[in-house]
Structure 1
Amino acid sequence: MAPEVSHVERHGYLFGHPIAHSMSPLLHQTVYDNLGLNWSQVPLDSTDMSLFLNLIKHPQFYGASVTMPHKVAILKHLDGLTPEGRDVGAVNTLFIREDPETGKRLFMGTNTDVIGIRESFFRNATPESFENRPALVIGGGGAARSAVYALRTWMKAGTIYLVNRDASEVQAVLDECTARGYGSGLVHVATEAQAQQLEGVGAIVACVPNFTPKTAEEQEARKVLEVFLDKSHKGAILEMCYHPSPYTEIAELGQKAGWQVILGTEAMIYQGLEQDRYWTGKETAELPVAQVQSVIASKLDEAKL
């Protein structure tokens, strides 16, 4: 069943499943209200790609946030990709451009997750703490690929260490990043002993759910992280997990070890503002950044109660 959109001038969608806890509609509504736009992002909690592809033909449709499980599946339905969308191999943002010759609407895809990661560091940490140093990515999914791309493309990371409980997932990240042209200098750190021999890192991006390690593989991966946290150089750690709370075990470990901890809501905010840059045509500096941060902080406080 199609969601109701007749009450607004223009509408977009948050397309994914499950999305009940997403702060995306709240973030974008804050932007539109502050800009005086009668726009709205409508949640579309669905796995039905054909429904979505039909809905986006509406003349008042402006674009969509695309989340799991559709970030890769959407690629073949798009007319074009930005370099970020192409190189990460996953799209979280659909936007519209017009073909200059035919006037036809083109459905384009980009990946703003990489911008969210980049901006989290540049707006919260000093570049000297992470540039021209090795970096560490924890995890083996799509967010880990986005982190590698951001670290490699903009953050001047040297070697990028990968740690994860599942070695085959790390291999998949290595293979995919190599195939897309930014796989050089990626190293799988599989053991605590190996980590002890390596140079300290400046940026850490944690792309795993919040859990207490139980299996031998999980415990080894956590020990690898602890070795890097305990090294003499202290940088910044971005904890991408923020649901149900951004105050995770990894965030606590980082804080205790003297690292600057950046909450995952920062990455969420800056990837969302980048989406609105595509949709509204306004630069980030023209968007209500402070108001968005305030609204998301209030939402986090509610979650603590």
Structure 2
Amino acid sequence: MAHGHARPILLGLIGAPIAHSASPAMHEAAAEAVGLTAHYQLIDLPGADAAQLRAVLGALAPIGFAGVNVTFPYKEAVLPLLDALSPGARAVSAVNTIVVRDGRLIGHNTDTTGFARALVQAFGPQPDGPVALVGAGGVGKAVAVALAQFPGLEVRLVDADPAKAAAVAAALDGHASLRVCRRIEEAVEGARGIVNGTPVGMLPDRGTPVPFGLLHPGMWVADAVYSPLWTPLLTEAARIGARTMTGRELAIHQALDAFALFTGRAAPASAMERAFDRAVAPRAA
């Protein structure tokens, strides 16, 4: 590696637990592919309160970070600690990408842009609806905003916390045909698509957010979880012949969009795809 020329671009991920993240591999490979050097640091913060989060965010600019990603459970907690929000992040009221510019922290949400692009790639320019969306947390909200971009697509949102689902519905009022359902059965009945936006099914959890009996072959099923890539939900959906999209697509597309925000350079998708597959392959078995 050449020394003394370019300082590596410093990037990172704030969340917990994040040891399994494919983000370091993806961003470092993307940088290399466009002739840059990046160092992507995992910033694992279990149980951080607002003061601890503020301290970490306050250190980013002085230390020289170009930006960081934010994941569970801090996508909403960071909002009041930022200097500005992109329109997308404001719409979702969740942030997964923070860009450091001239000492200011600007929040973006590339889960939204990434999910919309991934969905089109997997299921065509106008995915079949209605869509049952499980989860109204950080990822669920981003998915809801992404689905709202497809004209006339009915979204049925269900969350273990009905108040959370109601808040998302209120935020999207007038922008989407979104209905809050109390029970998963109600959301899935007659639905053509299902999206899991919860951590259910993420290792070590082996649960499913949707009882298998509600699945049928005419559906498409997408999962935001990528550890494991084939969650119990997706494994069963594929087994019965439903079309599936793993968390790989969302992971890669949100990272592509984040890399462009961090560096001002378009990352080659192929470099990120290869890096993701290498990072996740050992766990796929």
TM more than 0.5: yes
Partner of 2:168: 176
Contact 1:139 1:163 in 2 (8 A): yes
User: Structure 2 CA distance, aligned partners of 1:246 and 1:170?
Assistant: 28
Q: 1:139 to 1:279 in 2, by over 3 A?
A: same
Partner of 2:35: 36
Identity score, percent = 24
Partner of 1:21: 20
Contact 1:75 1:91 in 2 (8 A): yes
Partner of 1:188: 181
Partner of 1:134: 130
Contact 1:135 1:157 in 2 (8 A): no
Contact 2:68 2:97 in 1 (8 A): yes
Residue identity opposite 1:301 in structure 2: A
Q: 1:226 to 1:144 in 2, by over 3 A?
A: farther
Residue identity opposite 1:188 in structure 2: C
Q: 1:282 to 1:151 in 2, by over 3 A?
A: same
2:104 equivalent among 103, 106, 119: 106
Deviations 1:95-135 (A, max 9, x none): 134xxxxxx543210111112211221122223442xx311
Q: What is the CA-CA distance between 1:59 and the residue it aligns to?
A: 6.7
- Secondary structure at the counterpart of residue 185 of structure 1: strand
Instruction: Give the TM-score, by structure 2 length.
Output: 0.84
Partner of 2:197: 207
Q: Which moved more, 1:180-189 or 1:81-90?
A: 180-189
Residue identity opposite 2:123 in structure 1: A
User: Structure 2 CA distance, aligned partners of 1:11 and 1:171?
Assistant: 38
- Secondary structure at the counterpart of residue 62 of structure 2: coil
Are 1:297 and 2:281 matched, yes or no?
Answer: no
Are 1:260 and 2:204 matched, yes or no?
Answer: no
* Cα RMSD for the two superposed structures: 2.6
Unaligned runs of 5+ residues in structure 1 are 1-6, 98-103
Contact 2:12 2:68 in 1 (8 A): yes
User: Structure 2 CA distance, aligned partners of 1:135 and 1:90?
Assistant: 21
Q: 1:289 to 1:189 in 2, by over 3 A?
A: same
Contact 2:61 2:103 in 1 (8 A): no
User: Structure 2 CA distance, aligned partners of 1:237 and 1:279?
Assistant: 31
Q: 1:241 to 1:10 in 2, by over 3 A?
A: closer
Contact 2:118 2:253 in 1 (8 A): yes
User: Structure 1 CA distance, aligned partners of 2:181 and 2:141?
Assistant: 14
Q: What is the CA-CA distance between 1:162 and the residue it aligns to?
A: 2.4
Q: 1:112 to 1:106 in 2, by over 3 A?
A: same
Contact 2:22 2:280 in 1 (8 A): no
Residue identity opposite 1:266 in structure 2: E
User: Structure 2 CA distance, aligned partners of 1:191 and 1:303?
Assistant: 29
Are 1:11 and 2:10 matched, yes or no?
Answer: yes
Q: What is the CA-CA distance between 1:12 and the residue it aligns to?
A: 1.9
User: Structure 2 CA distance, aligned partners of 1:78 and 1:38?
Assistant: 27
After superposition, residues 78-117 of structure 1 pair within 5 angstroms as 78-97=82-101, 105-117=103-115
Partner of 2:120: 122
User: Structure 1 CA distance, aligned partners of 2:224 and 2:90?
Assistant: 22
User: Structure 2 CA distance, aligned partners of 1:80 and 1:110?
Assistant: 9
Q: 1:268 to 1:95 in 2, by over 3 A?
A: same
User: Structure 1 CA distance, aligned partners of 2:109 and 2:248?
Assistant: 17
Unaligned runs of 5+ residues in structure 2 are 1-5
Q: 1:129 to 1:50 in 2, by over 3 A?
A: closer
After superposition, residues 138-287 of structure 1 pair within 5 angstroms as 138-152=134-148, 154-164=149-159, 166=160, 169-179=161-171, 181=173, 182=175, 184-188=177-181, 190=183, 192=185, 194=186, 198-201=189-192, 203-208=193-198, 209-210=200-201, 222-223=210-211, 226-227=213-214, 229-230=215-216, 234-243=218-227, 245-283=228-266, 287=267
Contact 1:13 1:42 in 2 (8 A): yes
Structure 1 consecutive aligned stretches of length 4 or more whose deviation exceeds 4 Å: none
Contact 1:16 1:44 in 2 (8 A): yes
Deviations 1:34-71 (A, max 9, x none): 11112222122223324313321227321111123322
Q: 1:190 to 1:54 in 2, by over 3 A?
A: closer
Residue identity opposite 1:177 in structure 2: A
Residue identity opposite 2:124 in structure 1: T
Contact 1:145 1:177 in 2 (8 A): no
Larger gyration radius, structure 1 or structure 2: 1
Partner of 1:69: 73
